Amino acid sequence: MFETLWPICLLILIIVWPLDSYMKYKNKKAYKIYLDQLRQSNINQIDQMNGRQFEEYLSSLYQSLGYQAEVTKGSGDFGADLILKNNNETIIVQAKRYSNKVSIKAVQEIVAAKGYYNANHAWVVTNNYFTAPAHKLADANNVLLINRDLLIKLSAQVNQEKVTTRIEKYKSN
């Protein structure tokens, strides 16, 4: 029985394995295109994102700035939505895509996560602004708060660099 089945199994393996590899390649390429498009979002588009999309947006944004960026799993992330690495330093990020000001709770969560992840730095990034108590606790714990205005500037800087790079490539051809 095995003598008759092994050629069929081998044939299936020969067909399926390259197809699986090709599909993984296509998915990675499609995801990269998705991240590139996401990174080019303006603040109005960011305001319409859900929490996960905002995390992916930030991941793409920070990758453009030279960081290694990893979006953590949705639940059980111990307060860190992104893990950034650059120059042997680890930065954990709490991403808050909110329609209201971000409260002290986000700072408390990232302070706790900093110890859990043994990170060098902790940031909270939002498309909005922070309450006064959030600022006070962040100052006391050396947490960087990136509000709407800074996010807009950072996004504009990254997207301007990408446009400049594309123009330079076009001119050199």
pTM score, two decimals? 0.76
What local confidence, expressed as pLDDT, does residue 24 receive?
61
Tell me the pLDDT band of 120, cut-offs 50, 70 and 90: very high
What gap in Å lies between CA 58 and CA 81, rounded to an integer?
10
What local confidence, expressed as pLDDT, does residue 137 receive?
98
Tell me the pLDDT band of 40, cut-offs 50, 70 and 90: confident
Mean pLDDT of the region 91-106: 97
Mean pLDDT of the region 52-59: 94
In order of their start, the domains of the chain are 40-172 (3.40.1350.10)
Comparing 24 with 79, the larger pLDDT belongs to 79
Mean pLDDT of the region 158-166: 62
